[in-house]
């Protein structure tokens, strides 16, 4: 179990850092057991503090250093299974943080996954390989943050897409429009699933379930041993368990916004 937790945390940490480390207007700062993602966008989607380990006695000082470093933009603070027990939620709230999510870490060994891609999946699911595709991907994600369009167009123009990259973007199309999206990130023998989002007008129609099964097959075909994700609701945990995922522990996400 510890091996899976470490593999999933490593995948998430690398995913957070890979793209910003290659964009001209972003940077990645590594401070001992912290990874800080800093961007010019005034949003916690693209400013992130990932903490691998914390000392119970000194964590408030360390977190204050993070606040000072990422000022003045809001940022997301991620605590994984190895750090949640070191931090008192009440003290983070006193420091100005707001709890955004309590996510469940989950993993599946892909050799246990019964690969079965339906023809309908192949007709409606597309990997993003060009500007038209990235714009469709953005159309779904943009509802959550106004800075998404600028950020992902920079990814397209400055980094590029394709098999040479460890990340992939996907969308499920209905009537010519993207209605559900997801992304993958490959790290060593793990693959993380991120950004599984269905357009509000098209939810509860099985789109996310269909896309997830496709992505499991996609990763397995690329000789990946394990797939990991974080689930943000009991309904999602139930769905992923039916696919064969197991629970690994919890991740807490807090948001910090500067007050002037």
Q: Are residues 48 and 134 in the same domain?
A: no
List phi, psi (to 5°) of 108: -135, 140
Q: Are residues 173 and 239 in the same domain?
A: yes
Confidence of residue 117 (pLDDT cuts 50, 70, 90): very low
pLDDT score recorded for residue 118: 42
Confidence of residue 80 (pLDDT cuts 50, 70, 90): confident
pLDDT score recorded for residue 166: 97
Residue 120 predicted with pLDDT over 80: no
The CATH number linked to 150 is 3.40.630.30
Q: Are strands 48-51 and 75-79 parallel, antiparallel or unpaired?
A: parallel
Q: Are residues 8 and 45 in the same domain?
A: yes
- Identify the domain containing residue 95 by its residue range: 2-103+251-256
Cβ–Cβ < 8 Å for 44, 75 = yes
Q: Are residues 133 and 227 in the same domain?
A: yes
Count of domains observed in the chain: 2
Mean pLDDT lowest among 35-49, 74-88, 148-162, 233-247: 74-88
Q: Are residues 93 and 127 in the same domain?
A: no
Residue 86 predicted with pLDDT over 50: yes
Q: Are residues 169 and 212 in the same domain?
A: yes
For residue 186, CA distances in Å to 22, 45, 121, 203, 217 come to: 16, 20, 22, 27, 14
Q: Are residues 204 and 244 in the same domain?
A: yes
Q: Are residues 132 and 53 in the same domain?
A: no
**Model confidence over 207-223: pLDDT tens digits?**
999 999 999 999 999 99
Residue 94 predicted with pLDDT over 80: yes
**Model confidence over 7-63: pLDDT tens digits?**
888 999 999 999 999 999 999 998 778 899 999 999 999 999 998 777 777 788 889
Q: Are residues 39 and 148 in the same domain?
A: no
């Amino acid at each position: 179990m510890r091996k899976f937790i470490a593999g999933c945390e490593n995948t998430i940490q690398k995913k957070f850092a890979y793209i910003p480390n290659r964009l001209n207007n972003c940077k990645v700062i590594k401070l001992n057991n912290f990874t800080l993602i800093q961007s010019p966008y005034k949003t916690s989607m693209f400013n992130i503090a990932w903490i691998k380990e914390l000392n119970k006695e000194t964590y408030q000082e360390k977190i204050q250093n993070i606040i000072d470093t990422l000022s003045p933009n809001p940022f997301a603070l991620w605590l994984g299974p190895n750090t949640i027990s070191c931090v008192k939620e009440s003290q983070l709230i006193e420091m100005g943080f707001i709890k955004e999510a309590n996510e469940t870490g989950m993993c599946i060994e892909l050799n246990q996954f019964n690969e079965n891609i339906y023809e309908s999946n192949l007709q409606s699911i597309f990997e993003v390989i060009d500007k038209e595709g990235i714009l469709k991907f953005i159309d779904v994600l943009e509802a959550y943050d106004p800075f998404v369009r600028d950020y992902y167009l920079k990814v397209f123009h400055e980094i590029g897409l394709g098999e040479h990259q460890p990340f992939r973007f996907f969308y499920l199309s209905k009537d010519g429009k993207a209605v559900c999206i997801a992304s993958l990130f490959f790290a060593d023998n793990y693959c993380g699933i991120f950004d599984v989002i269905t357009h509000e007008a098209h939810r509860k129609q099985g789109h996310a379930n269909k896309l997830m099964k496709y992505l499991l097959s996609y990763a397995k075909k690329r000789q990946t041993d394990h797939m990991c994700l974080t689930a943000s609701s009991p309904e999602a945990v139930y769905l992923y368990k039916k696919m064969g995922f197991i629970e690994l522990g919890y991740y807490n996400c807090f948001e910090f916004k500067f007050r002037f």
